[in-house]
Amino acid sequence: METDRIIVRIRQRVRLDVFLTGHLAHVSRNRIQRHIARGDVLVDGRRVRPSHVLSGGEVLTLSVLESRRLEHASLPVAFTVVHEDEDIVVVDKPAGVLVHPVGKEFQRTLLNGLHIRLRERGEDASELGIVHRLDRLTSGLLVVCKRLEARRALSQAVEERRVHRAYLAVASGRPAAARGVVDLAIRRDPARPTRMQALDPASAAAARRSARATVSKSGYSDPRLDLRPRRARTRWAALRHLGGAVLLRVELETGRTHQIRAHLQAVGMPLIGDPIYGPSVEARIEDAVLQAGAALGRPALHAAVLAFNHPRSGQRMLFRAPLPDDLRRLVARLALPQAPA
């Protein structure tokens, strides 16, 4: 695309990275800073630092970043709309679809698909925004807001734990109890920053004493390097035993990254098919369970229930999404009696 230029129109001085974070609502500040440092953003034709202060009237050149905007980048994505009104869209997301643009994947995400849906109907999509997330390989329900006021109200409801979410999961193992609670702090794994760790109370206390947020020179805290443990609590109930596996109903009391996956692994019930936290051969998992997980190709986790008060009317809304075909086939396969060795 042709080089894009914008003229800065502001009433008070502001840092370049802060200005662009507001201008490019769906590009993270961390990514914006990296682009500025690489010279992808010019101020009056000059390379500057992310902390460069704008006064107004400057001409910014940012072709690479502009190309990531939803208006330019969005491509069609398949998903099921469960409910839609003038404020919100509730979607049943298929496994394999990212919720929002991340890194090099900024064209075929749920947010891109919703943006196209609104624009094709002639609706304003400028305030479209995510309230909560699901992992790429997790299927199920989530709500997206079409209006900024709705997003603020529902984001506050999520923070205050007034949004109810329940999941269906197929895990390996045979729990002795019918239900339980996992109350283990979670932090990013220092050795593998793409995964999380569930820590026992003693380990969590030690980690809190030694860890601190990593802040860049520009003043931005990088979550990938933040090793501080955070409280996390998950409730589970066994719905059906499946030989060497179990169908669980899982409810979150907190909403940490990979919380269900890390917590179930920590208590000996790793999700079938999970490439990061799933069962391994060394764990002496039954062959039938390992084979089923390999055939599934993704964590056996589905966001089945979503409930919240509508951000405008206050009416309580409840949505349910049945297990998708791949998880129903998994349950049926594991429920079959296994031939003796």
Active site residues: 135
Q: Which helix (H) or strand (E) holds 116?
A: helix 110-120
Euclidean distance between CA atoms 85 and 341, whole angstroms: 55
Which candidate, 158, 168, 171, places its Cα nearest to that of 321? 168
Q: Hey, which bits of 215-333 come out as E strands?
A: 233-242, 245-252, 301-309, 316-320
DSSP state of 330: H
Q: Are strands 46-47 and 42-43 parallel, antiparallel or unpaired?
A: antiparallel
* Inter-residue contact 271 to 301 (CB < 8 Å): yes
Residue type, 233: R
> In whole angstroms, how large is the CA radius of gyration of the chain?
22
The C-alpha angle 316, 318, 324, rounded to 5 degrees, equals 165
Which candidate, 124, 153, 130, 157, places its Cα nearest to that of 143? 130
